[in-house]
A = this chain, B = another copy of it.
Amino acid sequence: MGRNRLEAFSDGVIAIIITIMVLEMKVPHGEHLHALLPVLPVFLSYVMSFIYVGIYWNNHHNMLQASGKVNGAILWANLHLLFWLSLFPFVTSWMGENHFAVAPTELYGVVLFMAAVAYLILQSCIIAAGAPTLRRAIGRDWKGKASPALYFIGIVSAQWSPTAAKLVYLGLALLWLIPDRRIENLLIDSPER
């Protein structure tokens, strides 16, 4: 199993996830602009999920570029990550259709939390299989390790204020929107592949 296969398959799955989310936006029946109003919260959830999936795609590839050989553990850790990403369309739609109510907002956070944990597991597997560039690049990895904790705070805060939870999710998205320069910088010196 070469790294290219793993990248191509992950690319395919992530491309499908990011695109089918839009299918959850049910086409309204009226022909006037206000018919779009009920779709608006679903649209906003879609935008946030699009950004999140975009971030995962971006960082996933930076990470794989810095990886060495692919073994069985990496393969299943990767499928585990894709599993949680595949739940994005479902939770995005549930949250949007219920106008960011408590339970859907919490479940959205749970999927974000699990995806972040799955990402950390995949990262550990790649480092364990021998990827010194990645190890140096991530350093102490405060961003990766803090994320699950912050998602957890978001989930709990949704109990009192779904808006607070939303802000936590959005803040973390913005935090990750900044490309992982640590890996990028180290890769710049590598020979062109």
Contacts and interface: CB of A to CB of B under 8 A. Distances in A.
Contact of A22 (B14, B25, B89): B89
Contact of A23 (B23, B82, B104, B179): B23
A150 interface: no
Contacts of A12: 11-12, 15-16
Contacts of A30: 98
B25 A90 contact: yes
15 contacts: A1-B61, A1-B62, A2-B193, A5-B61, A9-B11, A9-B14, A13-B15, A15-B16, A20-B23, A24-B27, A25-B90, A50-B83, A50-B86, A75-B179, A76-B177
Nearest to A24: B27
A101 B35 CA distance: 13
A153 interface: no
Q: Is the interface of A mostly helix, strand, loop or mixed?
A: helix
Count of chain copies? 4
Interface residues of A, number: 60
A36 to B, nearest CB: 7
A75 to B, nearest CB: 6
Given A27-B94, A104-B31, A11 B5 contact: yes
A89 B23 contact: yes
Nearest to A100: B31
Given A7-B5, A62-B1, A103-B31, A86 B13 contact: no
B27 A90 contact: yes
A129 B87 CA distance: 36
A18 interface: yes
